[in-house]
Amino acid sequence: MKSHPISAFAAHIEALGALVDAAAAAARDEAAAAARKARAIAAAHELSVNPPTPAAAAGAHGWSPLQAAQRVLVSEVACALRIPERTAETLIATSVALVTSLPATLDSLAAGRISWRHAHLLVEQSYTLPDTTLAEFESRVLPFAETHTAAQSHRKARIVRERMHPETIELRHEAAVDKRCIEVEPAKDGMALLTALLPAATAHAIFDRLDRGARRAHNAGDPRTVAQLRADSFAGALLGVGSTPARSLKHKPLRGSNVYPIHGPDGVLVSVTGADLIDSTLSAPDLAEILASVRPRVHVTVPVLTLVGRDDVPANLEGYGPIDLETARGLVARAPSLTRLLTHPETGAVLSVGRRRYRIPEELRRWLQTRDGTCRFPGCSKNARRCHIDHTQEWHNGGSTAHDNLAHLCEEHHRLKTLTDWTVEHIVGGILRWTSPTGKIYDTQPANIVAG
């Protein structure tokens, strides 16, 4: 019998299948590596909380020995893996839970049958279950996870957890509400993400109100998309428009609706419904008054040649990074006051601050804030305005109040430097060199190159 040559299409499919198999094998390798990392981190945690000699008791304003050990481990892991400390905390907690509470899940991860995402979500759902129920929880969820996506496995785990949990959902929700918060993180192209963790009913009510108002405005002829209208209404409400009573507005609603087109702060057109302006399920007039009275504050550094139109070097928004020139010029034009920063057009070095009075404490603080931008501990991005200015060499040990002995540290990292074996020194150009308790060295760069 003659053998027929493989058709070009069959060869194409075979090659495609081989590449998919290679990707799947790489995914199994990634899962196995994640399992090894989890075991190493869990062992490090066990070692850090059980030192060979008892630690000294904490001072009145310090951490307990256990707290200090935990903070050192978090900082060491975060710096070594180049991840945020909150991510390091989650990684440590997940690793410990896999080793101590969900060993079959860890074995499945090591064998490549599930991904790290699967394992993390199963751990997340197991946290508040009693220890005596974890083996049953794992046996009911893990086989499903090995043949389904992480999202599907998460839903399955959530359902199983609800059925197995001894506490009512009301009690658990009451505890979860205490964790509500709002965070901001940079996005691309001059944008940022503002994320709120709220009770589900509150979050859905907020979105529904924004959505209904946006759709009414869009249907009435507003050229913006519904998504854009939701975002504009949200921003306008928080920046002072949303607290204005509808009856006091001089604008008329758009035809066929109760949507009011309002010129909000900075001339931004914001559309909100009349009902939204006077009706609220959150009875907090004091909060509305506070929000209305707060003037948003941003710190923008603009090269002088850019400001006058002779260059296009990007401006810098403190706590974010480069922003477009039109936005920067607009912020400068509307600023109630300016701190004069002359920058070298080639190197970006700050040549002068204010009236060159940086040796006066207030001027020196501005100088340091411009130089540092954020907390100067490795990986920390907390805005310098929310940080302490720390004497690198302590004042009582002979340290001077000078720019090359001062740096911004957030409260957490100021305590880490003071209460643990982390050390830091200034080297040239505003660079700080940190040495961890295990002897690892990390350099942090200033946000701006500043003449000293």
The model's pLDDT over 377-423, given as tens digits with 9 standing for 90+, comes to 999 989 898 899 898 988 777 777 778 888 999 999 999 999 999 99
For 340-353, the pLDDT digits (tens) are 544 445 444 443 33
End residue of a domain, out of 248, 266, 293 = 293
Residue 277 lies in a domain: yes
Is residue 22 located within the same domain as residue 152? yes
Task: Answer whether residue 122 shows pLDDT above 60.
Answer: yes
End residue of a domain, out of 177, 212, 239 = 177
The answer to whether the CB of 156 falls within 8 A of the CB of 125 is no
Is residue 198 located within the same domain as residue 167? no
pLDDT of residue 395: 72
Is residue 14 located within the same domain as residue 156? yes
pLDDT of residue 272: 36
Residue 305 lies in a domain: no
* Degrees, nearest 5: CA angle 320-267-240: 75
Is residue 200 located within the same domain as residue 273? yes
The answer to whether the CB of 77 falls within 8 A of the CB of 47 is no
pLDDT of residue 201: 73
For 135-172, the pLDDT digits (tens) are 999 999 999 999 999 999 999 999 999 889 887 777 77
**Range with lowest mean pLDDT among 25-34, 55-64, 247-256, 351-360:** 351-360
Residue 344 lies in a domain: no
For 264-292, the pLDDT digits (tens) are 333 333 333 333 333 333 333 344 454 45
* Degrees, nearest 5: CA angle 372-373-378: 70
Task: Answer whether residue 116 shows pLDDT above 80.
Answer: yes
Helix (H/G/I), strand (E/B), else coil: 247: helix
Is residue 172 located within the same domain as residue 255? no
Task: Answer whether residue 12 shows pLDDT above 80.
Answer: yes
The answer to whether the CB of 446 falls within 8 A of the CB of 430 is yes
Is residue 168 located within the same domain as residue 271? no
CA within 13 Å, CB half, 42? 18
**Mean pLDDT computed over every residue of the chain:** 78
Is residue 90 located within the same domain as residue 32? yes
Per-residue 3-state assignment (H helix, E strand, C coil) for 88-127: HHHHHHHHHHHHHCCHHHHHHHHCCCCCHHHHHHHHHHHC
Query: Number of folded domains in the chain?
Result: 3
Residue 220 lies in a domain: yes
Is residue 153 located within the same domain as residue 202? no
Range of the domain at 398: 353-444
Task: Answer whether residue 210 shows pLDDT above 70.
Answer: yes
**Average pLDDT in the 4-17 region?**
85
CB atoms inside a 10 Å sphere around CB 277: 22
Percentage of residues of the chain with pLDDT beyond 70: 68
Is residue 260 located within the same domain as residue 129? no
Higher-confidence position of 92 and 226: 92
Instruction: Write phi, then psi, for 443 (nearest 5 degrees).
Output: -100, 140
Residue 85 lies in a domain: yes
For 291-339, the pLDDT digits (tens) are 454 455 556 666 656 666 666 666 766 656 677 666 666 666 666 655 5
End residue of a domain, out of 138, 153, 177 = 177
pLDDT level of residue 126 (50, 70, 90 thresholds): very high
CB atoms inside a 10 Å sphere around CB 66: 12
Whole-number Å distance between alpha carbons of 82 and 88: 9
Residue 215 lies in a domain: yes
Residue 316 lies in a domain: no
The answer to whether the CB of 165 falls within 8 A of the CB of 172 is yes
pLDDT of residue 271: 37
Is residue 31 located within the same domain as residue 91? yes
Percentage of residues of the chain with pLDDT beyond 90: 40
Task: Answer whether residue 83 shows pLDDT above 70.
Answer: yes
CB atoms inside a 10 Å sphere around CB 18: 10
CB atoms inside a 10 Å sphere around CB 16: 10
Residue 452 lies in a domain: no
**Average pLDDT in the 92-120 region?**
97
Is residue 35 located within the same domain as residue 138? yes
Is residue 156 located within the same domain as residue 17? yes
pLDDT of residue 176: 83
**Average pLDDT in the 431-443 region?**
96
